Amino acid sequence: MQAKPISGSRTYMTDIVFPPDTNFHGTIFGGKVMAYIDRISSIAAMRHCRQGVVTASTDSLDFLNPIRVGQAISLEAFVTWTHKTSMEIFVKVESEDLLTGERLLTATSYLTFVAVDKDGKAIPVPPVYPETEEEKFHFNSAPERFKLRQQRRAHRKEHQQFYAPSQVR
């Protein structure tokens, strides 16, 4: 499979935060931000592999600053690295005060998506290559995150008995 530039998957999304999107602090619900992150990540992943995808994991989601009612939420996502059938996606979330133009980094996240065929079976994805310094940073640090993901998966399997659903009585 021929490698593709990371830039080919770069995706942007912007929306405005209305009162129903917020908690009693007047800031956007974390779950709403998570839904935006999953949505934009799936678009970036599909743009890269041109196949259906499923979310495999969310490695991290770090909230740094709130987004308030009336502000814009802006997201940027791109594939940072690929393995056989999986893709790591980085997402950056910013808030924008639409009256002053001030922008703040709100959250960052790494997710893993798997390409699947029409039967839901994992299929190979093309490799990616970085072009910018930012892309090189994410690309070069991805193997370490991949290793940590594998360790988490092994740990989860070791303790699987504790995660089994309770029997109904």
- Its pTM stands at 0.90
Q: Which domains does the chain have, with CATH numbers?
A: 4-162 (3.10.129.10)
Determine how β-strand 52-63 pairs with β-strand 4-5: unpaired
Per-residue pLDDT of the chain (169 residues; tens, 9 = 90+): 899 999 999 999 999 999 999 999 999 999 999 999 999 999 999 999 999 999 999 988 989 999 999 999 999 999 999 999 999 999 999 999 999 999 999 999 999 999 999 999 999 999 999 999 999 999 999 999 999 988 888 887 777 767 666 554 4
Residue 167's alpha-carbon distances to 156, 164, in angstroms, are 20, 9
> What is the distance between the alpha carbons of residues 44 and 28, in angstroms, rounded to a whole number?
23
Distance from C-alpha of 152 to C-alpha of 63, rounded to nearest angstrom: 22
